[in-house]
Amino acid sequence: MSFAELWAELLPIGRDEQTGGYRRYSWTEPDAGCRVWFARTATDLGLRTDCDGNGNLWAWWGGPGSAAAPAVVTGSHLDSVPAGGAYDGPLGVVSAFAAISRLRGEGFRPARPIGVAAFTEEEGARFGVACLGSRLLAGAIDPAVARDLHDQDGVTLADAMSAAGRDPAMIGADEELLAGIAAYVELHIEQGSILDGLGAAVGVADGIWPHGRWRLDFSGRPDHAGTTRLPDRRDPMLPFAAAALAARDAAAENEALATFGKVIAEPGAANAISSAVHAWLDARAPEENILARLVHQIECVAADAAAQHGVGLAMQRESFTPPVTFDGALRDRMVDVLAAAGQQAPVLATGAGHDAGVLAARVPTGMLFVRNPTGVSHSPAEHAAEGDCEAGVAALAAVLADLAGRP
């Protein structure tokens, strides 16, 4: 099965015809469609499929891996941000199947099992915690806390999983599954344009910036927009606005990144002062102490502005990923394998989060990036050229053959 064929089958699922973007939230109908696609593709390739207790999907060539015969695993995620691009996540899963199909066609016989994983809720778009499926697998989040996470409509993860026929009592760390993984290699579209600047189709990751999400709840007093005198107002929108501006200033000052990408004003009337504003801060920095300073600066401005306007403020961290340095030996080995195959792959760090970043704490992990000519991601405009996707498949196949070819 070629990359193009596999890609074309997945492309319509969860696509919004108006924006051209994707909305593939976990445990929804588009997610179910992606799961059916995964199972069908794996079965067509003669792979054995499985779904772990956390809802992550697995397909095994000669597996599953075990502590005695651990597997080389590749894959990514199929869920998306709202109005997300086609490539963030699915490129890694489709490339995994295409690479296996290619190796099969070449008559390759793996000396150890090869697995394909599709991790659930990587974006945290529905339940707020990024990389939820891999965090649960790796024991990086308390299952009881995860079960109670809820979406915008108040539906908990436990309820959503139950409705999809999964038992939420089964979520949590899976030591047996982890012990059966010798290495995890995730292929992903680059979410920046460094490779394009270097003229390279494929790169190798060496790390991920520390990053996290914070929720800020500003509570004010709802009132009439046309009659309430300015001094009498307790308008939660004003400290939120101060926080948004502070995020930009603090990010520039610290050479970091800070974004308010999601805001909910309640009750949401154009002619009323809001009763509350809920806002989510996404902050990322090259080092953990810089990240802490960045968030602290934004929090101070938000707190001062809230006090000035008689508004309450509660701030809480919803998720956090410490700095990730991928396995150095695996990184160098991938660079060498690609060089031997005629691909000069630059090594680069990224500010984007990945399941690979979570798994790196538990198993030797690496990443391959595929060129993104505009660098745009988390947007319908995200794109990679088909030739570069093919180069990514070739690179992944070479890496899998190297890692799984020796006993």
Rounded to the nearest 10 degrees, the angle between the axes of helix 90-105 and helix 386-405 is 60
Q: How many residues does the chain have?
A: 407
Write the interaction track for Mn ion spanning residues 206-245; mark x where CB under 5 A is met and - where it is not.
----------------------------------------
Residue 81: CB minimum distance to ligand GLV, A: 7
192 binds Mn ion, rule: CB under 5 A: no
Q: Using CB atoms within 10 A of its CB, is residue 109 exposed (0-12), middle (13-18) or buried (19+)?
A: exposed
Report yes or no: 55 and 120 within 8 Å, Cβ to Cβ.
Answer: yes
Minimal distance in Å, beta carbon 353 to ligand GLV? 4
Q: Which of the stretches 38-46, 88-96, 251-259, 262-270 binds Mn ion when contact is defined by CB under 5 A? A: 88-96
How many residues bind Mn ion (CB under 5 A)? The answer is 2
Instruction: State which residue, 352 or 367, has the beta carbon closest to ligand GLV.
Output: 352
Q: Which stretch binds Mn ion (CB under 5 A): 87-95, 160-168, 247-255, 388-396?
A: 87-95
Under the binding rule (CB under 5 A), the answer on residue 124 touching Mn ion is no
| Residues contributing to the site for ligand GLV (CB under 6 A) | 123, 130, 352-353
CB of 46 to ligand GLV, least distance (A): 32
**Segment interacting with Mn ion, rule: CB under 5 A, options 35-43, 84-92, 219-227, 301-309:** 84-92
Q: Least separation, in Å, of the C-beta of 123 and ligand GLV?
A: 6
From the list ligand GLV, Mn ion, none, partner contacted by residue 130 (C-beta under 5 to 8 A by kind)? ligand GLV
Helices vs. strands in the chain: H and E counts, helices first: 13, 15
Q: Please, what is the minimum distance in Å from the beta carbon of residue 141 to Mn ion?
A: 18
207: partner contacted, choices ligand GLV, Mn ion, none (Cβ within 5-8 A by kind)? none
Q: Are 190 and 79 in contact (CB under 8 A)?
A: no
DSSP state of 149: -
Cα gap 320→210, rounded to integer Å: 8
Q: How far is the CB of 206 from Mn ion (least distance, A)?
A: 17
Q: Which of 31, 52, 88, 151 binds Mn ion (CB under 5 A)?
A: 88
Using CA atoms in the order 183, 186, 192, 197, what is the torsion angle rounded to 10 degrees? Answer: 70
Residue whose tokens read 């984007």? 352
Binding at 125: pick from ligand GLV, Mn ion, none (beta carbon under 5-8 Å per type):
none
For 275, phi then psi, to 5°, come to: -80, -30
Contact 119, 34 (CB under 8 A): no
> CB-wise, 61 or 184, nearer to Mn ion?
184
- Using CB distances below 5 to 8 A depending on partner kind, what does residue 185 bind out of Mn ion, ligand GLV, none? none
Q: C-alpha distances in angstroms, 245 versus 233, 250, 309?
A: 21, 9, 16
Residues 243-282 that bind Mn ion (CB under 5 A): none
Token readout for 273 is 């002062």
Pick from 21, 65, 89, 366 the residue near Mn ion by CB under 5 A: 89
Query: Which region, judged by CB under 5 A, interacts with Mn ion, from 56-64, 83-91, 239-247, 363-371?
Result: 83-91
Which one of Mn ion, ligand GLV, none interacts with residue 89, CB within 5 to 8 A by kind? Mn ion
Taking CB under 5 A as the rule, does residue 382 contact Mn ion?
Answer: no
Angle between helices 3-10 and 90-105 (to 10 degrees): 150
Tokens standing for residue 236: 């939660």
Strands 272-273 vs 211-219: parallel, antiparallel or unpaired? unpaired
Distance CA 302, CA 313 (A): 8
> Is the CB of 352 or the CB of 360 nearer to ligand GLV?
352
Q: Which of 211, 41, 213, 45 is nearest to 118 (CA)?
A: 41
Residue nearest to Mn ion (CB): 88
- Segment interacting with Mn ion (CB under 5 A) among 82-90, 106-114, 220-228, 341-349: 82-90
Residue number with CB closer to ligand GLV (149 or 352): 352
Beta-carbon contacts of residue 197 (< 8 Å; ≥ 6 apart): none
* Distance from the first to the final alpha carbon of the chain: 27
Query: Which residues 6+ apart lie within 8 Å of 105 measured at CB?
Result: none
Q: Which is nearer to ligand GLV, 118 or 311 (CB)?
A: 118
For Mn ion, the binding residues (CB under 5 A) are 88-89
